[in-house]
Amino acid sequence: MDQKTTKQKAVHSILYWGLPVLAVVLIAVGWISFSAFNPELMPSPAQVWERLVKTFTKPIAKTTLFGHAWASLRRVLLALLVSWVFGIAFGILIGWNKKARAFFGSIFEVIRPIPPIAWIPIVIMWFGIGEFPKILLVFIGTFVPLVINTSTGIEMVDRINIQVGQIFGGKNRQILKEIVIPTALPSIFAGIRTSVSSGWTTVLAAEMLGANAGLGSLVTRGWQGSDLSLVMVSVITIAIIGALLSTILQKLEKVVCPWNN
Amino acid sequence: MNKDKQNLEDQLQLWRQNKKKENLKYVLLSAAGILSVLVIWQLAVVLGLVNERLLPAPTRILNTLIFKINNKAPDGNMLGVNIMASLQVALSGFLAAIVIGVPLGLLMGWWTYADRFIRPIFELIRPVPPIAWIPLVVVWMGVGLKAKALIIFFTAFVPCVINSYTGIKLTSQTLIDVSRTFGAPNYEIFWKVGVPSSLPMVFAGIRVALGNSWSTLVAAEMLAASAGLGYMIQIGRTVARPDIVIVGMVVIGAIGAFLSMLLSRAEKYFLRWKINR
Amino acid sequence: MPNEDTRPIKVEVKNLTKKFGDLLVLDDMSFHIRKGEFVCVVGPTGCGKSTFLNCLTRIHMPTSGDLYIDGVPADPKKHNISFVFQEPSALPWLTVEDNIAYGLKIKKLPKEEIKKRVDQILDLMGLQEFRKSYPGELSVSAEQRIIIGRSFAMQPDLLLMDEPYGQMDVKMRFYLEDEVIRLWKELGSTVIFITHNIEEAVYLAEKVMILTNKPAKIKEEVKIELPRPRDITDPKFIEYRNYITDKIKWW
């Protein structure tokens, strides 16, 4: 089981590196042939590339692709900042204080199962389709996972760690600050990660349902104008930015919580 | 000796009673929380502090809810029909995602070659936010049940695969070694050790998938449907009926919570062996 | 105990050598073990006792050397080898009785035979009332007993135990040691038992194998000729114990 013959090692190498390449090739071939046979359903990779270039030369709604991407990102980031502050604070409150958990937690539990996207119509009715309602929606979408993860993280802190703090004569607030919060940090970070991906999808939904700028609006525009290449360009951009955000957070987590493995 | 025993039993009784009182206190607090929100809300509308045409009173919302149970206006379906339509789409996509996604994740986690081959395809699907699939799928397949179920499938599929994969990768090497010394072949170890050991994470993935499914369903129905709760909310908006919208939101939340509770029940059964030490 | 051991040879190890890269861990070990013998292996900490056992179970393959069971090269698929690890290795999702039956099911024994053996083990160990419980509901020592029951249920050609009682308190240890002797007598298994506790080794073993420091060689084999049940306060017991302790301290 430990030793492999040279031949076995060679076969293993070929499969190990070859299989993913094969998969990628199959995807590419699949795309090209699908678009060749059904040009109205799916643009070819070449067409998508062309469309991408065109967004720079002929901006849509007076903004380039980067402009739209930034519009989306900005909304998310603004909402996230507010959401992080309030969400983590609220999460710590209901995680730490049993009475608060009973009183506010119940209200939260009623709001929680409503998907952020379901808030879109009522928010549009109240605030229209400007910047504020979008940021509000992203806030709603990101607030919930933050609170859940933070409060769970705080609740789960081992009683032992708390008792150690008490033995050393720590006051409640001190224990909270120096023992409980650092222990809950990985959970809080998990909440931050979820909030970012949730925020990214919420902003998209909000934009798809009513906006002039932003990647979601590009998707809708392409869809309604039968400009599938534009839809593809937007979707791919959305995916890339989403993946980048996720990777950045992973790197950040390693720095903030290096002990977490 | 007996006196000490009696003393202990008395103390135990006292502790139990105190615990009950404490629990009751928390239950009352919870109820108080919700009630105060409702009362403040109702008062705000009645006293004219809030525009009734933007935010109807809780009593109005309750009326509309009862009204909708038997009435098709304004979206063309009774409440029950909308609920059924939504559930049908969501559950078919969700169940398909579990049936395909969980085994796929488990296989990818256990057999390196499966992982190497499927991974690129999976990594292509994963970063796309589910809602972005909607236009593509609608163009390819229209707005029927199959199309919407496919969209739900995409969003539920990803967490199922990821969690199953992670779950089985965490299988205890000790347990694998035990099975090997008994002479079990690889596939038997997969089935008898890998799969059961990954169940907790699989359930966590299914839970996320459920949340995603229900959420994406609402989006899909708002963008492309003629029935369902998301559709109902959208219509409520276009005819300026916030009470319909809120009724829709509440029902969506309630059903989501209900499905989540069902999942918890199933989880309790399948994971009944799991005790956190 | 006969002075001349006439039991057939069950396990034969010839020139067992194990290297991890350039690090020589096991150095040309040769020995044999008779059928139904209870052998304890002792040695300084870190000398390679666990690696030694892992080679016997084929979890690691030796760099060179042969291992024969009943005259045939050892193979977990053919032979019945049971291993008790240091950490409890019960499958948490199986009940106690299913755990005990685990190895038997892998060997595909007939149902009635499995039921018979499981019942026998449960009786021998006094675990009948827990048969439907899950390992997570029981204490760590109970879990380890289940593992030992599982191993004995296999009626193995070779039963290997790697410091199974390392984490138990003293009172529990005595109880478990008596239990393992009882099981061994009843079922006639061949046992190799690794421990760093010399008293435990002298209490349990018919023969104690003393290993040297890395690279491990067999320093000496000491036959323990004491009647059972053994008395740890008996002067002869203490003599054996001191002798072996000295042999290890010497390194």
- The model's pLDDT over C30-75, given as tens digits with 9 standing for 90+, comes to 888 888 899 998 887 777 777 888 887 777 788 888 888 888 887 7
Number of structural domains (chain C) is 2
Q: What is the pLDDT of residues B186-225, one digit of tens each?
A: 999 999 999 999 999 999 999 999 999 998 999 889 888 8
Q: Minimum mean pLDDT among A53-57, A59-63, A82-86, A156-160: which range? A: A156-160
Q: What is the pLDDT of residues B10-27, one digit of tens each?
A: 888 888 888 888 888 888
Q: Residues C230, C189: one domain?
A: yes
Q: Is residue C161 part of a domain?
A: yes
**Which residues constitute the domain of residue C145?**
89-155
> Could you tell me if C19 and A2 are in contact, meaning their C-beta atoms sit under 8 angstroms apart?
no
Containing C29, the helix (H) or strand (E) segment is strand C23-34
Backbone angles phi, psi at B218, to 5 degrees: -60, -45
> Which residues sit opposite C66 in a β-bridge?
C14
pLDDT bucket at B92, cuts 50 / 70 / 90: very high
Q: Residues C93, C67: one domain?
A: no
DSSP per-residue string spanning C34-99: ETT-EEEEE-STTSSHHHHHHHHTTSS--SEEEEEETTEE--TTTS-EEEE-SS----TTS-HHHH
- Confidence at residue A149, expressed as pLDDT on a 0 to 100 scale: 87
| A1 has pLDDT over 50 | no
| A238 has pLDDT over 50 | yes
Q: Residues C99, C128: one domain?
A: yes
- Confidence at residue B276, expressed as pLDDT on a 0 to 100 scale: 56
Q: Residues C248, C188: one domain?
A: yes
CA atoms within 13 A on the CB side of C131: 14
CATH superfamily of A51-256: MetI-like (1.10.3720.10)
Pairing type for strands C9-20 and C81-84 reads unpaired
CB pair distance less than 8 Å for C106 and B274: no
CATH code, domain with C161: 3.40.50.300
| A260 has pLDDT over 60 | no
> Could you tell me if A123 and A181 are in contact, meaning their C-beta atoms sit under 8 angstroms apart?
no
- In chain C, the residue whose alpha carbon lies closest to the alpha carbon of A4 is C61
Q: Which residues of A touch C61 (CB under 8 A)?
A: 1-3
Q: Residues C237, C162: one domain?
A: yes
Q: Is residue C251 part of a domain?
A: yes
CA B21, B22, B25, B26 dihedral sign is negative
Mean pLDDT of chain A: 83
For the record, the structure tokens of B268 come out as: 């309790």
| C176 has pLDDT over 90 | no
Residue B274, helix vs strand vs coil: coil
pLDDT bucket at A156, cuts 50 / 70 / 90: confident
Q: Which residues of A touch B116 (CB under 8 A)?
A: 15-16, 19-20, 23
DSSP per-residue string spanning C118-184: HHHHHHHHT-GGGTTS-GGGS-HHHHHHHHHHHHHHT--SEEEEESTTTTS-HHHHHHHHHHHHHHH
Q: Who contacts A54 (Cβ-Cβ below 8 Å, separation ≥6)?
A: none
Average pLDDT over residues A94-106: 84
- Confidence at residue A261, expressed as pLDDT on a 0 to 100 scale: 47
Query: Which pTM does this prediction carry?
Result: 0.83
| A159 has pLDDT over 70 | no
Q: Residues C131, C178: one domain?
A: no
Of all residues in chain B, the percent with pLDDT exceeding 70 is 99
Q: Which residues of A touch B242 (CB under 8 A)?
A: 122, 125
Q: How far, in Å, are B103, B241, C198, C219, C247 from residue C251 at the CA level?
A: 54, 88, 15, 11, 8
Q: Identify the domain boundary among C133, C155, C177.
A: C155
- Confidence at residue C86, expressed as pLDDT on a 0 to 100 scale: 80
Q: Residues C71, C174: one domain?
A: yes
Q: What is the pLDDT of residues A16-32, one digit of tens each?
A: 888 888 888 888 888 88
Domain definitions of chain A by residue range: 6-42, 51-256
Against chain B, the chains showing at least 3 CB pairs within 8 Å are: A, C
Average pLDDT over residues B259-265: 93
Q: Identify the domain boundary among C119, C138, C155.
A: C155
- Confidence at residue A2, expressed as pLDDT on a 0 to 100 scale: 46
Q: Residues C58, C161: one domain?
A: yes
Q: Residues C147, C162: one domain?
A: no
| C76 has pLDDT over 80 | no
Give me the torsion for CA of A9, A14, A19, A25, rounded to 10°.
170
Among chain C, residues having any CB pair with chain B shorter than 8 Å are 57-59, 75-78, 81-83, 85, 87, 89, 91-94, 102-103, 106-107, 134-137, 154
Q: Is residue C12 part of a domain?
A: no
Q: Which residue has the higher pLDDT, A219 or A160?
A: A219
Q: Residues C72, C161: one domain?
A: yes
Q: Work out the minimum CA distance from C69 to partner chain B, whole angstroms.
A: 14
Q: Is residue C44 part of a domain?
A: yes
Q: Is residue C144 part of a domain?
A: yes
Mean pLDDT of chain C: 85
CA distance A187 to A218: 35
CA distance C110 to A119: 61
Q: Work out the minimum CA distance from B2 to partner chain A, whole angstroms.
A: 34
Q: What is the pLDDT of residues B141-190, one digit of tens each?
A: 887 888 889 999 999 999 999 999 999 998 988 899 889 888 889 999 99
> Could you tell me if C65 and C17 are in contact, meaning their C-beta atoms sit under 8 angstroms apart?
yes
- Confidence at residue A158, expressed as pLDDT on a 0 to 100 scale: 64
Q: Is residue C32 part of a domain?
A: no
pLDDT bucket at C250, cuts 50 / 70 / 90: low
For the record, the structure tokens of B226 come out as: 């003629």
Q: Residues C170, C225: one domain?
A: yes
Fold of B59-270: MetI-like fold (1.10.3720)
Give me the torsion for CA of A124, A130, A132, A133, rounded to 10°.
20
Q: Who contacts C94 (Cβ-Cβ below 8 Å, separation ≥6)?
A: B273, C102, C134, C135
For the record, the structure tokens of A177 come out as: 């600050």
CB pair distance less than 8 Å for B113 and A99: no
Q: What is the pLDDT of residues C226-235, one digit of tens each?
A: 888 888 888 9
Q: Which residue has the higher pLDDT, B52 or C109?
A: C109
Domain definitions of chain B by residue range: 2-50, 59-270
Q: Which own/partner contact pairs does A240-248 have at CB distance under 8 Å and 24+ positions apart?
A: A240/B127, A241/A69, A241/A72, A241/A73, A241/A200, A241/A215, A242/A197, A242/A200, A242/B127, A242/B128, A242/B129, A243/B127, A245/A196, A245/A197, A245/A200, A246/A193, A246/A196, A246/A197, A246/B127
> Could you tell me if C151 and C82 are in contact, meaning their C-beta atoms sit under 8 angstroms apart?
yes
Q: Identify the domain boundary among C155, C175, C210.
A: C155
Q: Is residue C27 part of a domain?
A: no
pLDDT bucket at A3, cuts 50 / 70 / 90: low
Cβ atoms within 10 Å of C227's Cβ, excluding its own: 8
Q: Is residue C24 part of a domain?
A: no
